[in-house]
A and B are shown apart, each in its own frame.
Chain A
Amino acid sequence: MKLHLKGGRLVDPVSGRDEALDVLIIDGRIEQLSKSIAADKSIQVVDLKEKVIAPGFIDMHVHLREPGFEHKETIETGCASAAAGGFTAVCCMPNTNPVIDEESVVRYIIGRGKQVCEGVVDVYPIAAATKGRKGEQLAPMAELAEAGAVGFSDDGSPISSSEIMRRAFEYSSMYGRPVIQHAEERTMTHVGLMNEGFVSTRLGMLGIPRVAEEIMVQRDLALLRYIPHARYHVAHISTRGTLECVRAARTEGLQVTCEVTPHHFTLTDEVVSGFDTNTKMNPPLRTQDDIVAMKEGLRDGTIDAIVTDHAPHTVDEKEVEYPAAPFGIVGLETAVGLAFSELVETRYLSLFRLIEKLSTNPRKILSLPQINIQEGELANITLLDPSFEWQVDTSSFKSKSKNSPFHGRRLKGKAVGVLNNGKFLLCE
Chain B
Amino acid sequence: MKLRGRHLLGLDGMSREDISLILDTAVSFKEVLERPIKKVPPLQGKTIVNLFFEASTRTRISFELAERRLSADVVTFSTAGSSVSKGETLKDTARNIEAMKIDMVVIRHSAPGAAHFLSRVVKANVINAGDGGHEHPTQALLDMLTLREKYATLEKLKVCIVGDIAHSRVARSNIYGLKTMGAEVSVCGPATLIPRDIERLGVRVFHRLEEVVKEVDVINVLRIQLERQESGLFPSLREYHRYFGVTKEKVAKAPKPITIMHPGPINRDVELSADLADSEHSVILQQVTNGVAVRMAALYLLGISN
Contact = CB atoms under 8 A, between A and B. Distances in A.
B170 to A, nearest CB: 10
B172 interface: yes
B117 A275 contact: yes
B196 A205 contact: no
A203 B196 contact: no
Contacts of B110: 323
Given A204-B134, A204-B169, A321 B114 contact: yes
Interface stretch (B18-26, B197-205, B276-284, B291-299): B197-205
Contacts of B83: 321, 324
A253 interface: no
B112 A319 contact: no
Which residue of A200, A206, A275 has the most chain B CB atoms within 10 A of its CB atom? A275
A275 B117 CA distance: 7
B132 A320 contact: no
Interface stretch (B84-92, B143-151, B178-186): B84-92
A201 B116 CA distance: 17
B241 to A, nearest CB: 25
Interface residues of B, number: 30
Which residue of B113, B116, B197, B201 has the most chain A CB atoms within 10 A of its CB atom? B113
A274 B9 CA distance: 12
B89 A205 contact: no
Given A197-B196, A319-B121, A202 B12 contact: yes
B109 interface: yes
Interface in A161-205: 193, 196-198, 200-205
A331 interface: no
A207 interface: yes
A203 B134 contact: yes
A207 B113 contact: no
A69 interface: no
A352 interface: no
Contacts of A324: 83-84, 89-90, 111
Interface in A191-243: 193, 196-198, 200-207
A320 B200 contact: no
Nearest to A194: B112
A324 B114 CA distance: 10
A204 B90 contact: no
Contacts of A316: 89
B116 A274 contact: yes
Contacts of A198: 196-197, 200
A348 interface: no
A320 B201 CA distance: 28
Interface string B166-194: 01110010000000000000000000000
Ranked 10 nearest A-B pairs via Cβ? A275-B113, A204-B133, A321-B111, A204-B134, A198-B197, A201-B195, A322-B113, A275-B116, A321-B114, A324-B84
Given A200-B196, A275-B112, A321-B114, 13 more contacts: A196-B196, A197-B196, A198-B197, A201-B200, A203-B113, A204-B134, A204-B167, A204-B169, A204-B172, A274-B116, A321-B117, A323-B132, A324-B84
Interface of B: 12, 83-84, 89-91, 109-114, 116-117, 121, 131-135, 167-169, 172, 195-198, 200-201
21 contacts: A193-B112, A196-B196, A197-B196, A198-B200, A200-B196, A201-B197, A202-B12, A203-B113, A203-B134, A204-B131, A204-B133, A205-B112, A205-B113, A205-B134, A319-B121, A320-B89, A320-B117, A322-B117, A323-B84, A324-B83, A324-B111
